[in-house]
Amino acid sequence: MERTLIGDVPSLIGQIVKLQGWVNIRRDHGKLIFIDLRDRSGIIQMVIIPDKEEAHKIAKDIRNEFVIEIEGLVKARPGGAIKEGVATGGVEIEVEKLVVISKPEAELPIDIAAQDLNLNLDTLLDNRTIALRNDKIKSIFRIYAELLRSYAETMNKDSFVEIKTPKILNAATEGGANFFKIKYFEQDAYLAQSPQFYKQAMTGVFERVFEVGSVFRAEPHYTTRHVNEYIGLDAEMAFIESFEDVMNQLEKTMAFVMSKIAENCQSDLEKYNAQILPVEKIPRMKLTEALEILDKEYGKKMETVDIDAEGERMICEWVKKNNNCDFVFLTHYPTSIRPFYSMPSADPQYTETFDLLFMGVEIASGGQRINDYNQLIASMKKHKLNPDDFKHYLDIFKYGIPPHGGWGLGSERIVQKILGLGTIKEAILFPRDVKRLTP
């Protein structure tokens, strides 16, 4: 007999099925033994009656997380009762045969079957391989999977070619000190801070490219929004008129991604009481305008033309109140705090760049890049960088690169904010931070 998935069982009333999965919960009611069985498609209640002597005997020794196989009759629940909140709540399985495939060799450190684990972060992450089996936690990563899938879908629809770029480099991508230095045979190398240089090069090949890949930042942060390895959703596009074209494309991308998560992940969103607003027109304002709003509405003054985490939260709060939108573009960041390849504005103190904020946190940075060879060299020197250290990057621009721009989008922050998770680490399968290299 072929295996049936639990999610397909409700349509098979009156038939004998074979199921395989994990024991989510086992409980006794008099001489009856009830088991909630879990597989990748859902959870279903099974009952083992004393008359099925062999199955009943085996069931007496079964505990949570045993891996079992059963054969049984699909029946409507007695009296037409329905178990609320469960897709298979209208049916149950009367077990006829039961086989233990595998069983735990140690006591479970946490109660995986709990609706809410309510563990402190270290306990949650120290027991990550087990905690991830919890149904509510699995919902995080079903939503994350839809984010990745829909991002690739919309990029492909808009003629972006997917690329994969090296993560071991001979020089730090953006200079500075936030890079990981590694030993690469007989020479030093660096883990990629972004695919920036390579995706710019590829605009000279495909015009439009995107990448989903790891990004490494050696930043000693202890915050709820930072980790040292994350998955970046990058894109770069050529023949732009201005960085407005880049924002238009990112706006379209986010509208599609959020609509697909809302459409395909409703049951997972409900576990977190999360709602997704339709994305139509994302408000845009200069950074200086945002700082004026913070000063006027919240009495918050910044010492320099920049914005901190509190300011990002406040300006998103203001936009939500006045525009009913969870997103906002802040534009024209100062030249002094943007990478050397950022295109300067008409006022050279500022750049044709933006940050995209979502529900109080920055999720993307982008803008137009300098595409002129000589202008790029001049910008490097202005940023106190030695052009000789960027020879291979500069070679890109010797042979004709059109005006272009793009973005780098942090995938895990999006999931964190959608679900209201306490920390970004909950949105990463196995997070890496200053203190954590395991599991």
What tens digit of pLDDT does each residue of 17-37 get? 999 999 999 999 999 999 999
Task: Give the Cβ contact number of residue 56 at 10 Å.
Answer: 17
* Same-domain pairing of 38 and 184: no
Q: Which percentage of the chain shows pLDDT scores above 90?
A: 90
Q: Can 102 be counted among the known catalytic residues?
A: no
Stretch 322-342: mean pLDDT: 96
> Per-residue pLDDT for 144 more than 80?
yes
CATH for 416:
3.30.930.10
Stretch 134-160: mean pLDDT: 98
* Same-domain pairing of 324 and 376: yes
* Same-domain pairing of 275 and 200: yes
In a domain, 124, yes or no: no
> Per-residue pLDDT for 319 more than 90?
yes
Q: Can 38 be counted among the known catalytic residues?
A: no
* Same-domain pairing of 75 and 185: no
Partner residues linked to 39 by β-bridges: 42
* Tokens 């793009």, residue located: 406
At 382-432, the pLDDT tens digits run 999 999 988 889 999 999 999 999 999 999 999 999 999 999 999 999 999
Task: Find the domain containing 30 and state its range.
Answer: 6-102
Stretch 369-376: mean pLDDT: 97
Q: Can 362 be counted among the known catalytic residues?
A: yes
Q: Would you mind telling me the total number of residues written for the chain in this entry?
A: 439
Report pLDDT for 165.
97
* Same-domain pairing of 85 and 142: no
Sheet strands side by side (includes 187-191): 168-169, 187-191, 181-184
CATH for 85:
2.40.50.140
Half-sphere exposure of 273 (CA within 13 A, CB side): 1
Stretch 242-248: mean pLDDT: 98
**Lowest mean per-residue pLDDT among 102-106, 175-179, 306-310:** 175-179
Report pLDDT for 119.
93
Q: Which percentage of the chain shows pLDDT scores above 70?
A: 97
**Lowest mean per-residue pLDDT among 76-90, 133-147, 284-298:** 76-90
Is residue 125 classed exposed, middle or buried when 0-12, 13-18 and 19+ CB atoms within 10 A define those classes? buried
- Read off the pLDDT band of 381 (50, 70, 90): very high
Q: Can 3 be counted among the known catalytic residues?
A: no
* Same-domain pairing of 136 and 93: no
Q: Can 310 be counted among the known catalytic residues?
A: no
At 181-227, the pLDDT tens digits run 999 999 999 999 999 999 999 999 999 999 999 999 998 878 888 89
Q: Can 345 be counted among the known catalytic residues?
A: no
In a domain, 289, yes or no: yes
At 62-112, the pLDDT tens digits run 999 999 999 999 999 876 656 666 667 789 999 999 999 999 999 999 999
Catalytic residue among 38, 217, 338, 404: 217
Catalytic residue among 94, 219, 289, 317: 219
In a domain, 125, yes or no: no
Q: Can 225 be counted among the known catalytic residues?
A: yes
> Per-residue pLDDT for 176 more than 80?
no
> What angle is formed at CA 63 by the lines to CA 62 and CA 69, rounded to 5 degrees?
55
In the chain, the number of structural domains is 2
Mean pLDDT of the chain: 94
Report pLDDT for 83.
64
* Same-domain pairing of 86 and 155: no
Catalytic residue among 225, 338, 369, 404: 225
In a domain, 432, yes or no: no
In a domain, 433, yes or no: no
